[in-house]
Chains A and B, each alone.
Chain A
Amino acid sequence: MRKKIIKSTAAVLALSAIAAGIPGLASAQDGKKFKVFLSLSYSGNAWQSEAANIVKALAQTAPYDEMVELREVISGTDPQAQISAYESMIDEGADAIISFPISSTALNRTIKRGCDEGVLFFMYDATVTESCAYNVSYLSSGFGENSAQALVNALEGNGKIFLSRGVPGNSVDQRHTDGALHIFNQYPGIEVVAEYYSYWDDRTTQQETAKALTANPDVDGIWAQAGEYGAIQALLDAGDRLVPMTGENSAGFRLALADPDMQAKGLTGVSAGSPPAQSGYAFKLAMEILTGQRELEPMNIEYPLPWVPADAVKVCEGDVYEDGCNVFPPEMVPSSFVSEVLNTDLLPEVNVESALNGTPVPGATIQPLPAEVTEAANLPGINCGSCEAPENLYELTKVEATVQP
């Protein structure tokens, strides 16, 4: 196993106090609130909004509502804008900065300056190579290789496939694709007949898949990153035939996987990929450190890879994930809703309304996180600067090869 479990000391001790909602810990005592900043990239896609909404909802949940002053700053897609945002947060005396970093390297100098002044930096989903920041991410959890193997298994080792990728030049897209190709290249029966960039967007995926289908109407499978629901729609537009495919966590995709009509047309596969819930986990970790309930040195923390095969999809009846359900029905959320925004173990305080609107659940109180955190594997240039990737980088963790090359 490449994962290493680290036990953080004294984590559980004072948590019961928090859980009971007793104010009076740390600086909340003298009426001064912790200054926590939420620094976003672009707000305007479902993923980014949900991630931000979860943090906002948690910050308004007792007892954090009495303890923390949360301020949100959106920096677009320009690293320079985020650098100046960080600079002013540091100057305003931030206690912690929870952030989706726009670049894995460009922010390093500013982060280092902030660390020296005692600011906690918690990055979620995307990561930085500066070692004084905490990275909370699923990137090391092997989305690419696991989903690729699942697709190979479904195709029994033979077939023409499409790769629907993310954003060109992006290190996350590269990591996913490298992992996937590591698997696909082992199978001579698997032929990648089209590879296109879909910018992690449903509509772009649909249009790019439609284009690829004109030249390859006989495709056998699709390996997709976010935007996967668009690939299903493109297949349906082109004919009445679906194929095995893997994709990320949109409600549209999960509902399709569970739909008997879609299954009859040939759809099967796995929903995995980037969870917006990472932001909430990062925020709660930062708060536990600030309030003295957890001691943890800066490190790369792995968020577990969501993994929902077609036969495990279950539609929820309420507004939280309970009894093993893992997708909300279409009347509650749009098809682009990213399902992995709630987490029963890590974020039991919030519900679907929190994800959509940033509102806290009435009467909920913050629950302590599990004491253990999982250390992430090194990903050079992604979560560490001068480091080496482990030899078992592409080891499968969620699925086993049922067909041999």
Chain B
Amino acid sequence: MKSTSKSSSQEHNLAQTGDTRVSAKISRETISTLSVAILCLVLLFSARLINPALGSWSQIETVLVLGFFLVVLSFGQGLVILTGGLDLSLPATITLGGILATNWIGAGNPDEWYLLPAVLAVCGLVGLASAIGVIWLRVPPFIMTMATSIIVASALLGYTRGTPRGTAPDMAVALMKGDILGVPAPIVVLIIFVIVGWLFQSRSVYGRYLYAIGTNIEAARNAAVPVTAMRILPYVLSAICAGFVGIALVGYSSGATLRMGDDYLLPSIASVVIGGSLILGGRGTFLGSVGGALLLTILGTIIATLGLEFGFRTIIEGSIILIALLLLREELFQKLRSLKS
């Protein structure tokens, strides 16, 4: 009796929220994505006031190349967060991708390109290990991914004996330094990646499954969503993205180091949250995360040119991120909407 009433009330709730959700969610997420994009553009062009060299095509090019890494990472991190998890193993997995690419392939071996997918597969296994811990061993994602991170980082320290050797594979260098029809290759790849990522998350059935799991896992199970497989997928994809970033970083700076991934963990989470995702899962778009990642990168390039003391620079950076988050809060949009209606 008790259980039936509970489930019926749950169904009732679902029906109720489900009803408003379709209209509310789409507009809310579109608005927050647009706001981030507008904020990016405003920052980019107001930067001209600070320094006339800013806001030029070459600055946009720098932003897109530097933002490449963060955008790719925020796709994986965004998927994990969407299903209610968190991936702290990004730094170690980035380093894994970079070190395997330099050690297994290296420069001057273009015929060994097939090893690149192998590197990504190894990184995917790291994600699988995290997923197994989270799903079957029921370790909280925060702890599980931290553990994988420590294990992978320590294994790499042992494997390289502290000094990663090897050089960047030609493919990786071409990816970051090459040109495609006169446009820098990383920008072309970035655009393709964003389109594919957006199609996957917002237009494919798999993306829908992930939203369903993040919103209510029991409801998703009842709706015949392959819950287990779809909870594993984000961790594996996130690890593969991290491995890809590792390879790209090696191409960008011609070598691997053991700390190459360290600077990306918090920005990857921040990009996702600034992009309008709910840190507890169930809501958010990849395009929003892309905007968040680019916003952080633009902010970094502008603040670097202010010529202020380092302390002030980081205070300004933190303040702008905070203001952006407050402005993008959903309550604000709800208020705006209610004003309109």
Contact = CB atoms under 8 A, between A and B. Distances in A.
Interface stretch (B73-81, B155-163, B197-205, B222-230): B155-163
A356 B161 CA distance: 8
Nearest to A196: B304
Interface stretch (A14-22, A58-66, A150-158, A200-208): A200-208
Contacts of B311: 168
Interface string B101-117: 01000000000000000
A308 interface: no
Given A206-B253, A356-B161, A168 B310 contact: yes
Contact of A356 (B58, B163, B166, B260): B163
A46 interface: yes
B62 interface: yes
Given A49-B161, A217-B53, A207 B66 contact: yes
Given A52-B162, A334-B163, A203 B304 contact: no
A230 B256 CA distance: 12
A214 B53 contact: yes
A402 B91 CA distance: 46
A46 B54 CA distance: 35
Given A203-B260, A233-B254, A334 B54 contact: no
A335 B253 CA distance: 10
Contacts of A118: none
Interface in B220-271: 249, 252-260, 263
B165 A334 contact: yes
Contacts of B164: 334, 336
A204 B263 contact: yes
Contacts of B300: 211
Contact of A210 (B62, B167, B258, B310): B62
A45 B161 contact: no
A30 B163 CA distance: 38
B162 A53 contact: yes
Contact of B166 (A53, A197, A334): A334
* Chain A contact residues: helix, strand, loop or mixed: helix
A194 B166 CA distance: 32
A358 interface: yes
A330 B167 contact: yes
Interface residues of A, number: 44
Contacts of B253: 202-203, 206, 230, 233
Interface string A297-317: 000000000000000000000
A194 B307 contact: yes
B30 to A, nearest CB: 31
Interface in B154-180: 157, 161-167, 177
B301 interface: yes
B257 A46 contact: yes
B338 to A, nearest CB: 41
A53 B257 contact: no
A337 B254 CA distance: 13
Contacts of A211: 62, 66, 300-301, 304-305
Nearest to A74: B157
A77 to B, nearest CB: 11
A104 interface: no
A378 interface: no
A202 to B, nearest CB: 6
B54 A44 contact: no
Contacts of B258: 44-45
A193 B256 CA distance: 30
Given A211-B66, A334-B164, A203 B54 contact: no
Contacts of B161: 49, 53, 356-358
Interface string A40-54: 000111101110110
Given A45-B259, A46-B257, A207-B66, A333 B165 contact: yes
B46 interface: no
Given A46-B257, A196-B304, A334 B66 contact: no
Contacts of A48: 162
Contact of B304 (A50, A212, A238, A334): A212
A216 interface: yes
B59 interface: yes
B51 interface: yes
A214 B58 contact: yes
Interface of A: 43-46, 48-50, 52-53, 168, 193-197, 201-204, 206-208, 210-217, 230, 233, 237-238, 252, 330, 333-337, 356-358
7 contacts: A194-B304, A202-B255, A208-B304, A333-B165, A334-B255, A335-B254, A358-B161
10 nearest A-B residue pairs (beta carbon): A49-B162, A215-B305, A211-B304, A44-B258, A214-B59, A211-B301, A215-B51, A203-B253, A214-B62, A168-B310
